[in-house]
């Protein structure tokens, strides 16, 4: 086929050039580009996509590149651009370098452009990456922490700390403590190298940093399609559908066990259980033969993804509809989001890589995720949430007892009398509690490296300092204990 395009008199280099042009043309035919005209500051929303790269260019429009085989939708409404896919898809972005962009995280807002990335927390503090430096600034814009090529500088109101090639210097209102001799300069220089290397790893390029932030957000694509190995990333996505129904026995307790994929459970008005699943792989159709979906009439009723061979490269996404009266019991997925809407039961929800969300349900709820956020909204019954890498948000759930995360914010809204004492704990983020000011509560809050703020909430205190508070709201009652080692604790008045 190629011979008809190549003159035999052409030199080897020219022939190679012509062949390269032909191959390039074939590749370009398989790539789709969408262009969106912009107005002002642009908010970007991503659903079920992974960013391959973000490039800032001297142009007027946003360009989205993706494979022609991927079903990517790009819509614009006012100043919001939404990029989504029904299946997992990879995209590249070319953004006008003179525009500003907004990307919403769970409890923070990210603004970025070709020069810098700024993450705003709900407490007014912000983290700024610019020109190879990291700054943590308070709500007034004053730098609290600066990490860059010159070292680490910390301004903690009554104490200033510098760790640089000059040594280790600590200045307080009362005295200065300096270690600036040989050992101080050696240690300070060592820390400076670590700081410089760390910032370089984060990247001076705002596009690369935003790519990492967007791809790491646990509800962007994790659980929609899990990357099994680098060899599978560029394969064509192959799907297969599964559907089954069955009549549950009276008092059925539903269990679902999935090893790789999302589980979504909703109630409906019919009298039977409906199971729909989409199987996905980037290997081959033969991969589907390595798993089996079992519907077992034991232990109440159980739906299970069973591996027939070791390490199948298949993602299974369940959508399950249950009639009223079916109790939700053990729901497990090692790689995927769990979503429960308008159901009941003694729920034990577990996933190691994905979010857990429960809405408008009743019973009891224990949610565990090691890499994902947890959200409880309008639940009737005792509730506990545990995650090691994700934010926790709880709204209209008076039966909450515990919310514990080691790397994520906690956001709690209380608008009715709580049923038990509540324990909130995070080690590397802030806690925000919004309270109906007419409730009777006891408060015990402590943070070791930040502050406690009262915003329109009147608390009668028995102990109060910048980082610790013990007291009561109105007459006192059930106790809220809030603890964090690296973040602020803020109390707000609920506005109805």
Distance, in Å, from the CA atom of 142 to the CA atom of 107, rounded to the nearest integer, reads 22
pLDDT tens sequence across 243-256? 999 888 888 899 99
Residue 148 tokens, joined: 């860059």
Query: What integer pLDDT is reported at residue 224 of this predicted model?
Result: 30
Q: What is the mean pLDDT of the chain?
A: 80
Contact indicator for 337, 219 with CB cutoff of 8 Å:
yes
Q: What is the mean pLDDT of residues 205-222?
A: 67
Q: What is the mean pLDDT of residues 462-489?
A: 91
On the 0-12 / 13-18 / 19+ scale of CB atoms within 10 A, 486 is middle
Query: What integer pLDDT is reported at residue 135 of this predicted model?
Result: 75
Distance, in Å, from the CA atom of 300 to the CA atom of 346, rounded to the nearest integer, reads 13
- Whether the pLDDT of residue 209 is over 90: the answer is no
pLDDT tens sequence across 259-287? 889 999 999 999 999 999 999 998 889 99
Nearby residues of 365 by Cβ (< 8 Å), 6 or more positions away:
347, 349, 358, 376, 379, 381, 382, 383, 384
pLDDT tens sequence across 339-385? 999 999 999 999 987 889 999 999 999 999 987 889 999 999 999 99
Nearby residues of 225 by Cβ (< 8 Å), 6 or more positions away:
48, 87, 88, 237, 280, 315
Contact indicator for 116, 206 with CB cutoff of 8 Å:
yes
List the chain domain ranges.
32-112, 237-343, 355-496
pLDDT tens sequence across 31-90? 566 766 666 788 898 887 888 889 999 888 889 988 876 778 888 888 888 888 766 688
- Whether the pLDDT of residue 119 is over 80: the answer is yes
Contact indicator for 161, 169 with CB cutoff of 8 Å:
yes
DSSP code of residue 41: S
């Amino acid at each position: 086929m190629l011979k008809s395009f190549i003159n035999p008199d052409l030199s080897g280099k020219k022939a190679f050039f012509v062949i390269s042009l032909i191959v390039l043309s074939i590749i370009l035919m398989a790539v789709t580009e969408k262009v969106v005209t912009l107005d002002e500051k642009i908010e970007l929303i991503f659903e079920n996509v992974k960013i391959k790269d973000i490039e800032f260019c001297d142009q007027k429009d946003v360009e989205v590149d993706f494979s022609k085989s991927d079903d990517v939708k790009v819509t614009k409404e006012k100043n919001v651009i939404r990029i989504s896919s029904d299946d997992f898809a990879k995209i590249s972005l070319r953004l006008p370098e003179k525009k500003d962009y907004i990307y919403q995280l769970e409890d923070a807002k990210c603004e970025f452009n070709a020069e810098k990335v700024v993450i705003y927390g709900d407490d007014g503090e912000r983290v700024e990456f610019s020109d190879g430096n990291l700054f943590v600034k308070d709500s007034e814009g004053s730098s609290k922490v600066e990490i860059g090529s010159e070292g680490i500088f910390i301004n903690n109101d009554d104490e200033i700390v510098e760790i640089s090639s000059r040594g280790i210097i600590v200045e307080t209102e009362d005295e200065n403590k300096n270690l600036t001799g040989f050992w101080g300069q050696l240690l300070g220089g060592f820390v400076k190298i670590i700081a410089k290397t760390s910032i370089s790893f984060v990247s001076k390029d705002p596009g690369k940093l935003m790519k990492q932030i967007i791809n790491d957000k646990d509800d962007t694509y994790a659980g929609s399609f899990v990357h099994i190995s680098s060899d599978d990333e560029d394969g064509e996505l192959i799907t297969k559908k599964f559907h089954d129904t069955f009549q549950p026995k009276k008092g059925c307790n539903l269990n679902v066990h999935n090893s790789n994929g999302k589980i979504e459970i909703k109630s409906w008005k019919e009298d039977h259980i409906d199971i729909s699943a989409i199987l996905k792989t980037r290997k081959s159709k033969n991969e589907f033969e390595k798993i089996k979906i079992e519907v077992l009439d034991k232990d109440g009723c159980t739906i299970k993804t069973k591996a027939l061979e070791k390490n199948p490269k298949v993602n299974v996404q369940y959508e399950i509809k249950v009639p009223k009266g079916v109790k939700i019991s053990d729901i497990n997925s090692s790689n995927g989001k769990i979503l429960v809407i308008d159901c009941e039961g003694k729920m034990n929800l577990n996933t190691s890589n994905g979010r857990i969300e429960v809405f408008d349900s009743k019973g009891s709820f224990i949610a565990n995720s090691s890499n994902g956020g947890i959200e409880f909204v309008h639940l009737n019954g005792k509730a506990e949430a545990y995650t090691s890498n994700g934010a926790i948000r709880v709204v209209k759930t008076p039966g909450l007892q515990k919310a514990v995360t080691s790397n994520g914010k906690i956001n709690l809204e209380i608008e009715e009398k709580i049923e038990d004492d509540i324990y909130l704990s995070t080690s590397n983020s802030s806690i925000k509690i919004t309270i109906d000011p007419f409730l009777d509560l006891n408060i015990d809050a402590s943070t070791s490296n930040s502050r406690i703020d009262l915003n329109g909430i009147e608390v009668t205190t028995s102990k109060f300092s910048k980082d610790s508070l013990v007291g009561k709201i109105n007459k006192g009652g059930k106790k809220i204990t809030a603890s964090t080692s690296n973040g602020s604790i803020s109390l707000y008045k609920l506005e109805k």
